[in-house]
Structure 1
Amino acid sequence: MKKNIAIIMGGYSSEYQISLKSGNVVYDTLDTSKYVPYRIHIFKEKWVYVDAENQEFPIDKNDFSVIIDNSKITFDCVFNAIHGSPGEDGYIQAYLKLLNIPHTSCDMYQASITFNKRDCLSILKPYGIKMAESFYVNKGDAIDEAAIINKVGLPCFVKANKAGSSFGVTKAYKKTDLQTAIDIAFKEDDEIIIESYLEGTEVSVGVINFKGEITVLPITEIVSENDFFDYEAKYLGKSKEITPARLTQEQEAKVTTVAKQLYSALKIKGFSRSEYIFKDGEPHLLEVNTIPGLTRESILPQQAAAAGIALSDLFDNAIEQALK
C-alpha cells in the first residue's frame, strides 16, 4: 500500500522561497509507485495542503491531517524541506514528535543546536574542531567596536546567529562598516555572531545516513564571483561549485574526518551539509545545515549525483530511514 508523504515547505523566515523550490523538487521527484506526495505549505498565517490545481485545504494542527473530498487524510511520514524557522530550528521536529509522526530531518535538540551558530560552535569546540575567532552581540547590547576588532580583527564577518542562505551576513572591512553590518544582521535575528575572516579554499561537505550507514558525499569546492559565498553566489549563479573539490588527499581526508565526526557527535539524522575554509592546511568550520537546499542545482544533490545517487533514490532513502 502506498504511503502518504507530507512534503512541508515554506516557513516563517526569509528563506521561504528557496524552501518552496526545494519542496517542489521533492514533490516532482518522489517515486509515485511507492508514495502519494502532498505539498504542505507552512506559513505563519496558514498551514495548507496545495493540490495540483493550486487549491488550498487547511491543515488541522491538532493531528496534522487534512480533509479532501470529505475524507480525512493522515500522513505516514513528513519530508521536511523547510529552510529556517520552523523547520530547521526544532519547532516542527518537536510538534511531529508529540504527534508521533516520522520525519526526514534530525531530532528537535539537534535542529535547535545546529540552527544556533553560537551554540553549535560552543558544543563542538571541545572536540577539537577548528573554527574562526568569534564575538557575540545581542540586540540592546552596547557596541564596543574596539573590543570587537581586538578579538576578531579586520576584515570580519557579521552574521545573524539564527538565519540561513547568507541572509543578514556582511563582510566588514573597516571600523566604520561595523555598525551598518550589525544593523543588517539584527533585521534577521536578535543575536549576532562576528567572526574573523578566514582566507583559503572553501568547501561544502554533505553527510547522510544512506541505507543505514553514515556516508560522506563527494566534497564541493566553492569559488564565489562575489566577495564571499552570499545569496547571489548561492542562488543567482555568481559562483562556481566544483564537485569533487580540488583538494589534496590529505585535505580531503581531514575534512571528511571532521564532517563525519561532527555528524556523529551531534547525533544528527537525515541530511547535513557543513561548510569549511582551509586555513594553514586545516579545515575550519563555518556552520552546519540540517535542511540543505534540495533543488537540482543545490550542492547536496550535486554531491549525491557525483556519488552515483539519483535524486529519487536520495529522497526515497530519507523516507525509508525515517520510517525505520
Structure 2
Amino acid sequence: MKTKVALVTGGYTGEAEVSYKSSAFVYSQLDKEKYDVYLIDITTDGWYYKDEQGNKYAIDKDDFSVSLNNVKIKFDVAFIILHGTPGEDGRLQGYFDMIGLPYTSCNALTSALTMNKGYTKAILADIPELNVAKSVLLFENHRAEAAEIVQSKLQLPYFVKPNAGGSSIGMSKVKTKDALQEALDKAYAAENTGAQVLVEEFVSGREFSQGIFRNAKGELIVLPATEVKTTREFFDFEAKYVPGLTEEITPADLTQEQKERAARIIKEIYIRLNCKGMVRVDFFLENGTDKFFFIEINTIPGQTAQSFIPQQVRAYGMKETDFYAELIEAALVK
C-alpha cells in the first residue's frame, strides 16, 4: 500500500501565499507511485482537504482525518509546508504529537524556540567559530520607550524586524535615528508575530543561506551554500519574491576552508537546537574579518523551484523527488 501523506499548507499570516507556492512545487515533485498525497489547507476559516478540482472537504480535528465517499482517510505522515503560524511555530507540531501523527519538521519545542529570533541567538551564542550581532529584544511593554532603549544600547545602522516573523515581512534597515520609530512601529504591527521586535546592529558582509537535513539513515547532510546578492537595500520581501531583484549563486564561491567551517557551524546549530528534517541557516561572512555571523534559522524553508533548498539539492546532485522522499521516510522512522 502507498503511504498516505498529508501535505499541509496555508497558514494564518501573510506568508500563506508563499506556502501555497511551496506546496504546489512539493506536490509536483512527490512520487505518486509511492505516495498518496492529500493537500491540506489550514486557514483561519477552517481546515480542508482540497482535491485537484478545488473541491473542499473538512478535516476532522479529533484525529486529523477526512471522509471521502463515506470512507475515512487517516494519514501516515504530515509533510508540513506551512510558513509562519501555526505550521512553523510549534503549534501544529504539538497537535500532531498529541494525536500521534509523524511529521517532517522540527518538534514543537524547537519550532517554537526558533521562531523567536532573540531566544535562538541566546542559545547559539557560544558555538565556536560563530558570531552573533549585538541586539536588543523588545516586548509589548517596551513599546513606549523602545526607541530610547535601542539608541542607548546599539550603534547605527540597525536591522529592525519582528522577533517571530518570516519572509522579511515587517523588516527595515535603519540608517538614521529619525527613521527608527517608523521601523519599530512597522515591526510591532506585523501580523501574528506576538508584538515582539528584535533590533540588531548591522553587519557588513556577504550574505549566505545554507540547508541541512537528516536523511532516512540518520545521516546529517549539509547542502551547498547559496550566496545572495540583491539590488535592494537588504534581502527584503520584494528581493525574495520579485524576479530580477536578486542574484542567487549556488553553489556559493567560498574557499574550501570556509565551506568546511560553515559545515561545522551549521551541523552544531542543527544539533544544539535538536532539529529534525530540513532546515536552512542564514549567515553573513563579515567584510574584513572573515567571521561568520548568524542571521536566523528557518525550520520550514521555502520550496518553490527557485527557492534556496531546491537549488542546493540540485547542486548537491540530488533530485527533488528523492530529497522529499528522504524527508518523508526519515519522519516515519520510529
Task: Give distance in 1, aligned partners of 2:44 and 2:141.
Answer: 26
Q: Which residue matches 2:72?
A: 72
Task: Give distance in 2, aligned partners of 1:77 and 1:147.
Answer: 46
- Residue 70 (structure 1) shift: 1.0
Structure 2 residue aligned with 1:277, among 284, 297, 306?
284
Task: Give distance in 2, aligned partners of 1:61 and 1:210.
Answer: 30
Task: Give distance in 1, aligned partners of 2:279 and 2:229.
Answer: 21
Structure 2 residue aligned with 1:322, among 324, 328, 331?
331
- Note the 1:207-218 alignment, pairs <5 A: 207-211=212-216, 212-218=218-224
Structure 2 residue aligned with 1:201, among 202, 206, 228?
206
Kindly tell me the number of residue pairs found equivalent between the two proteins: 324
Give the counterpart letter for 1:43 in structure 2: T
Task: Give distance in 1, aligned partners of 2:77 and 2:153.
Answer: 46
Structure 1 residue aligned with 2:179, among 160, 177, 180?
177
Q: Which residue matches 2:100?
A: 100
Task: Give distance in 2, aligned partners of 1:171 and 1:91.
Answer: 30
- Residue 126 (structure 1) shift: 3.0
SS of alignment partner, residue 125 of structure 2? helix
Deviation string, structure 1 residues 53-89 (Cα, Å, up to 9, x no partner): 1000000000000011111111001000001100110
| 1:305 paired to 2:314 | yes
Task: Give distance in 1, aligned partners of 2:311 and 2:212.
Answer: 13
Task: Give distance in 1, aligned partners of 2:20 and 2:205.
Answer: 33
SS of alignment partner, residue 59 of structure 2? strand
Give the ranges of 4+ consecutive aligned residues of structure 1 lying more than 6 Å apart after TM superposition. none
| 1:39 paired to 2:39 | yes
Q: Which residue matches 1:287?
A: 296
Q: Which residue matches 1:139?
A: 140
Deviation string, structure 1 residues 269-319 (Cα, Å, up to 9, x no partner): 101101001121011000000100011110011000000111101111100
Task: Give distance in 1, aligned partners of 2:39 and 2:146.
Answer: 47
CA spacing shift, 1:73–1:179, aligned 2, 3 Å: same
- Residue 267 (structure 1) shift: 1.2
Task: Give distance in 2, aligned partners of 1:313 and 1:255.
Answer: 25
Q: Which runs of 5+ in 2 are unaligned?
A: none
Task: Give distance in 1, aligned partners of 2:278 and 2:25.
Answer: 16
TM-score (norm 1): 0.98
Conserved? CA contact 2:127–2:265, under 8 Å: no
Q: Which runs of 5+ in 1 are unaligned?
A: none
CA spacing shift, 1:183–1:146, aligned 2, 3 Å: closer
Task: Give distance in 1, aligned partners of 2:124 and 2:84.
Answer: 21
Conserved? CA contact 1:254–1:282, under 8 Å: no
Conserved? CA contact 1:170–1:181, under 8 Å: yes
Task: Give distance in 1, aligned partners of 2:204 and 2:126.
Answer: 24
SS of alignment partner, residue 130 of structure 1? strand
Structure 2 residue aligned with 1:219, among 212, 216, 225?
225
- Note the 1:242-281 alignment, pairs <5 A: 242-279=249-286, 280-281=289-290
Give the counterpart letter for 2:294 in structure 1: L
Task: Give distance in 2, aligned partners of 1:311 and 1:102.
Answer: 21
Task: Give distance in 1, aligned partners of 2:209 and 2:13.
Answer: 23
Give the counterpart letter for 1:30 in structure 2: L
Q: Which residue matches 2:150?
A: 148
Task: Give distance in 1, aligned partners of 2:201 and 2:63.
Answer: 46
Task: Give distance in 1, aligned partners of 2:280 and 2:154.
Answer: 25
- Residue 226 (structure 1) shift: 0.3
SS of alignment partner, residue 141 of structure 2? coil
Give the counterpart letter for 1:309 in structure 2: M
Task: Give distance in 1, aligned partners of 2:297 and 2:74.
Answer: 32
Task: Give distance in 2, aligned partners of 1:22 and 1:261.
Answer: 27
Conserved? CA contact 1:158–1:195, under 8 Å: yes
Conserved? CA contact 1:157–1:172, under 8 Å: yes
- Residue 235 (structure 1) shift: 1.0
Task: Give distance in 2, aligned partners of 1:158 and 1:54.
Answer: 39
Measured on the aligned residues, the alpha-carbon RMSD in Å equals 1.1
Q: Which residue matches 1:110?
A: 110
- Note the 1:18-97 alignment, pairs <5 A: 18-97=18-97
Give the counterpart letter for 1:301 in structure 2: P
Structure 1 residue aligned with 2:247, among 240, 244, 251?
240
